[in-house]
Amino acid sequence: QLQLQESGPGLVKPSETLSLTCTVSGGSISSSAYYWGWIRQPPGKGLEWIGSIYHSGSAYYNPSLKSRVTISVHTSKNQFSLNLSSVSAADTAVYYCARLAGYGDHGDYWGQGTLVTVSS
């Protein structure tokens, strides 16, 4: 059974960089059939796609976040990571990682999510 687990600091100071890692178990991140993505959800609000990456390193980002986001893949560790720079309180959210499948990049497996709060 595929499992994804987010990890990283739960508190980040304004203007600093938010860094999270998603560890994939029960399957290979190098599978040719899938992209791997980050999605976030501010408290009480809806879902927002942040970006997706293929095992080759090819990545796509939400245009509204593109200037601040970097997603990387680490195939030897079966992990992929998210860096979001220059954070503000508006970046406070639950951050999910997910496996994206099919032509429509639907998220068929999700991590449990991790709350990141931006505050001094």
Q: Which positions touch another protein (CB under 8 A)?
A: 35, 37, 39, 46-49, 52, 60, 62-64, 96, 100-108, 110-113
Taking CB atoms within 8 Å and a gap of at least 24, the contacts of 101-108 are: 101/33, 101/34, 105/35, 105/37, 105/52, 107/37, 107/39
Say which residues have a Cβ less than 8 Å from residue 83's Cβ, sequence separation at least 6: 17, 18, 19, 69, 70, 71, 72
Judged by beta carbon, residue 18 or residue 37, the one nearer another protein is 37
Min. distance of Cβ 98 from another protein in angstroms? 8
**Considering the complex, what minimum distance in angstroms separates the CB of residue 109 from another protein?**
8
Judged by CB, which is closer to another protein: 63, or 120? 63
Smallest separation, CB 108 to another protein (Å): 5
The C-alpha atoms of residue 39 and residue 50 are separated, in whole angstroms, by 5
- In the complex, what is the shortest distance from the CB of residue 38 to another protein, in angstroms, rounded to a whole number? 10
Of the two residues 59 and 87, which places its CB atom closer to another protein in the complex?
59
